């Protein structure tokens, strides 16, 4: 499986979201390196935990922008996000308790999900927010557990 390399085809036209997407791609590529190097399961579990926290923050911001810019597909997009978080949580638990999670299967899922999610799902909202200024209030503060604090 080849690493994901950032290019403009992944840009959704919102710099802060593009930067977050780049961070996810770096995490996925790092996990690929760890799996190929047969890193300890604790290393993989730690990365999955960081990915979950980063995903919660990113999805919260992305969904706030979708709502602000009145993207009509927000509910379906939100479901995609929830399913991703569930898969990461299930995989993290499996790695933590050595429940036979196949690392290469997980890597395929993460690789394909991010590649396809950005290129197909996120591109659907691009016309609604590309090039528009992101209001300051969209950037939020998160608790240590990764959940957003209310405004």
Does 54 have pLDDT greater than 80?
yes
Residue 7 covered by a domain: no
Predicted pLDDT of residue 132: 85
Spell out the SS3 assignment of 75-127. HHHHHHHHHHHHHHHHHHHHHHCCCCCCHHHHHHHHHHHHHHHHHHHHHHCHH
Does 97 have pLDDT greater than 60?
no
Predicted pLDDT of residue 73: 97
- pTM confidence score: 0.82
The domain that contains 85 carries what CATH number?
1.20.120.50
Does 10 have pLDDT greater than 90?
yes
Residue of higher predicted confidence among 103 and 11? 11
Residue 70 covered by a domain: yes
Per residue in 77-92, pLDDT tens?
A: 999 999 988 888 777 6
What long-range pairs does 79-87 form, CB within 8 A, spacing at least 24?
A: 80/117, 80/121, 81/55, 84/55, 84/113, 84/117, 85/52, 85/55, 85/56, 85/59, 87/113
Residue 143 covered by a domain: no
Does 74 have pLDDT greater than 90?
yes
Categorize the per-residue pLDDT at 151 as very low, low, confident or very high, splitting at 50, 70 and 90. very low
Rg of the chain on CA atoms, in Å: 16
The domain total for the chain is: 1
Residue 134 covered by a domain: no
Question: 48-62, 116-130, 135-149 — which is least confidently predicted?
Answer: 135-149
Residue of higher predicted confidence among 139 and 48? 48
- The domain in which residue 117 lies consists of 14-129
Categorize the per-residue pLDDT at 142 as very low, low, confident or very high, splitting at 50, 70 and 90. very low
Per residue in 102-127, pLDDT tens?
A: 677 778 888 898 889 999 999 999 99
Give the separation between CA 87 and CA 129, rounded to whole angstroms: 28
Residue 26 covered by a domain: yes
């Amino acid at each position: 499986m080849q690493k994901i390399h950032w290019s403009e085809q992944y840009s959704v036209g919102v710099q802060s979201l593009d930067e977050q997407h780049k961070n996810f791609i770096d995490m996925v590529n790092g996990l690929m390196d760890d799996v190929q190097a047969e890193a300890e399961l604790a290393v993989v579990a730690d990365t999955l935990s960081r990915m979950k926290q980063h995903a919660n923050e990113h999805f919260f911001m992305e969904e706030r922008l979708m709502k602000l810019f009145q993207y009509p597909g927000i509910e379906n997009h939100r479901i995609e996000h929830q399913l991703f978080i569930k898969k990461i949580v299930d995989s993290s638990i499996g790695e933590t308790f050595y429940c036979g999670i196949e690392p290469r299967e997980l890597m395929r899922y993460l690789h394909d999900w991010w590649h396809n999610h950005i290129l197909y799902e996120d591109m659907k909202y691009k016309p609604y927010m590309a090039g528009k200024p992101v209001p300051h209030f969209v950037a939020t503060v998160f608790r240590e557990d990764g959940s957003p604090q209310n405004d």
